[in-house]
Chains A and B, each alone.
Chain A
Amino acid sequence: MLELRGVSKTVDGMDHIRDVSLRLESGSLNVLLGPTLSGKTTLMRLMAGLDTPTAGQVLVNGQDMTGVSVRKRDVAMVYQQFINYPALTVYENIASPLRVAGVKGADVDKQVRKAADLMKLTPYLDRTPLNLSGGQQQRTAIARALVKGAHLVLMDEPLANLDYKLREELRDELPKIFSESGAVFVYATTEPTEALLLGGRTATLHEGRISQFGDTIDVYRNPQDIVTAQTFSDPPLNLLGLTKSGGEFRTSNGTVIPATEDEKRLPDGHYKAGFRPHHLYLQRPSEDAVCLPAVVDVSEITGSESFIHLTCLNHRWVALEHGIHNVDVDAKIDVFVDAKNFMIFDDEGRSVASLMREAA
């Protein structure tokens, strides 16, 4: 078990990590989700003990390890770059943590071969890392982390530099392999999709702060605030400013959007509605949907899906549509939204979902 208590890290007067508290259980898969520069790597370095926090404590199994050198901790780490000993063979690379630990004889061979087998490296044991493909190099680094049997396994965007197919393969395998070892497994990524595919638990990170920590799917469905919802949305979350009075919302151009039963319980006032790109429709999806005028900025077609970027009531939105929709730039079109898809946030960006539930 790894616990962070009020951990902060300040470098040259800049807050890199602000007051982070987290409890990560043994045998759990934890995703750190956040955009570049949100502090994922810094947080991992603090967890590993590569850096000491400016304030707060790092506890391992209830024992205070703040300030204990990384050499005396039980940690393995895999990086975005492929880090291996360049002059050693794959075999010796995988064996290196065992050699440092003083494991002798046939034990080394057994463990190395087991890890190599899991990582599909058996045919390449005699090669040096530079004679391997990127995927194989990263597998070697992962095998090294695996063989170490560390209590804490940190992976800092390990699949970012790999091609699509290898990423899918490794993303499936990694959680299984490491959950069996009973380690605290931490995986940093910038991609919401990756977090959802990995499952487990997710902590969303924004400007050095944990905005929410919980079961991945729960964080995705019920974000506590706009920042979490935005971090956990790719393509970006669409936002719409609304004024509520009585049983309906009103947009800035006066369009009335009928509220759902839950939403009707909210006090009158200003709100922000967040909804995901696949909930912005180009065709009327249901009777309750409301039509809004929009101007197309650009449309991107990936093959099976189209992303239509548009401006509506001074908001920049993205609509995700299945199939190919080639819409002309600057075309005036009608778009549709439905209040039942809204995540409602108050003026300060906090989710009011709990407020609605309490009222019920």
Chain B
Amino acid sequence: MEKTVNNKAWFMVLPVLLLVAFTAVIPLMTVVNYAFQDSFGNNQFFWVGIEWFQELLSSERFHDALVRNLIFSFSILAIEIPLGIGIALCMPKKGWGVPVCLVLMALPLLVPWNVVGTIWQVFGRADIGLLGYFLNSLGINYNYTQDPVAAWATVIVMDVWHWTSLVVLLCYAGLVSIPEAYYQAARIDGASRWAVFRYIQLPKMHSVLLIAVLLRFMDSFMIYTEPFVVTGGGPGNSTTFLSIDLVKMAIGQFDLGPAAAMSLVYFLIILLFSWVFYTVMNNAGTEKKHYAGEE
């Protein structure tokens, strides 16, 4: 068959190209452009090469914020994933309890980020907040505006409250897709509750867990609104995450060049970690065990 060439075909893909250009390519290129230049206002730009990157990667401020981000992301993953699985396992599989549980679970997800921040900001205050007042009356010295530990605890508990539901819903979807016959077969086999979880439920939840871990990691690594509202990055710099630092740099100090460089590095870090998570979890799922040779 002869191949026909029709240049008008380009018009068919033009809308998509334009859309991608405006939403992704052009903004990204602007950031790349800024990252290699210095500006002194009046639209005057000077080429500085990789100076901003060198400065950023050797800056202690950046390292500290990055470490905080990592600690935060891994902490909430370590809490939210097991907790989410646990709650999903406890949820009813049929009956009137299902819609009730699902709606209750979905509620936190419907609250906007800044509202969540405001709720916890007030909730945690030692003078008028229920939580803060209660903890202090128990004799626990809790004040998130002065104590870094209290600030961290507040931010982590807030994120767990807000996002564990997502993990629960994903896991629940994975669980209800397991046919009843699997549980029957396991009972006939005499498998224990743990064996049912380890060898039936967990493998069957594997793909949704992969999505849950990826989503929660990416999202928590980009966290901005809630800690900004609650602690504003303080006390001191103790809850200043990369995003908060970035905004300070770009809008507070108007250092466009360094901020652009930081945006790119930030983006690459998220990309790298997400890829690592995906690869590791995917391999863990398809890992083949060679028992045949043992014993």
Contact = CB atoms under 8 A, between A and B. Distances in A.
A88 B188 CA distance: 18
B288 A70 contact: no
A70 B188 contact: yes
A76 interface: yes
A71 interface: yes
Interface string A89-121: 101100111001100011011000000000000
A77 interface: yes
B89 interface: no
Given A86-B204, A108-B295, A48 B290 contact: no
Interface string A137-161: 0000000100010000000000000
27 contacts: A48-B188, A50-B187, A50-B188, A70-B187, A70-B188, A77-B185, A77-B188, A79-B184, A81-B179, A81-B181, A83-B181, A83-B182, A86-B199, A86-B204, A87-B199, A87-B202, A87-B285, A88-B199, A89-B288, A89-B291, A91-B292, A97-B189, A101-B190, A106-B295, A126-B288, A126-B290, A144-B189
A75 B199 contact: no
Nearest to A90: B292
A101 B190 CA distance: 9
Interface in B179-221: 179, 181-182, 184-185, 187-191, 195, 199-200, 202-204, 206
B203 A71 contact: no
Contact of A100 (B181, B189, B288): B189
B184 A77 contact: yes
Interface residues of B, number: 25
B289 A88 contact: yes
Nearest to B285: A87
Given A45-B184, A87-B203, A126-B290, 17 more contacts: A71-B187, A79-B181, A79-B184, A81-B179, A85-B199, A86-B200, A87-B199, A87-B202, A89-B288, A89-B289, A92-B291, A96-B191, A97-B189, A109-B295, A126-B288, A127-B288, A128-B286
A132 to B, nearest CB: 13
B95 to A, nearest CB: 13
Interface string B273-295: 00000000000011011111001
Interface in A43-91: 45, 48, 50, 70-71, 75-77, 79, 81, 83, 85-89, 91
Contacts, number: 70
A92 B289 CA distance: 9
Contacts of B291: 89, 91-92, 95
Contacts of B202: 87
Nearest to A85: B199
Contacts of A89: 288-292
Contacts of A48: 188
Nearest to A145: B188
Contacts of A101: 190
A83 B180 CA distance: 10
Contacts of B184: 45, 50, 77, 79
A125 interface: yes
Interface of A: 45, 48, 50, 70-71, 75-77, 79, 81, 83, 85-89, 91-92, 95-97, 100-101, 105-106, 108-109, 125-128, 144, 148
A100 B190 contact: yes
A244 to B, nearest CB: 51
Nearest to A154: B188
Nearest to A112: B292
B82 to A, nearest CB: 18
Contacts of A100: 189-191, 195
**Residue of A71, A106, A144 with highest tally of chain B CB at under 10 A:** A71
A95 B295 CA distance: 13
Given A77-B185, A83-B185, A87-B199, A71 B190 contact: yes
B203 A75 contact: no
A77 B204 CA distance: 21
A57 to B, nearest CB: 21
A85 B188 contact: no
Nearest to A87: B203
Contacts of B188: 48, 50, 70, 75-77
A86 B204 CA distance: 7
B86 to A, nearest CB: 20
Contacts of A95: 291
A71 B192 CA distance: 10
A29 to B, nearest CB: 20
Contacts of A75: 188
Contacts of B206: 87
Contacts of A91: 291-292
B84 to A, nearest CB: 20
B189 A125 contact: no
A174 to B, nearest CB: 18
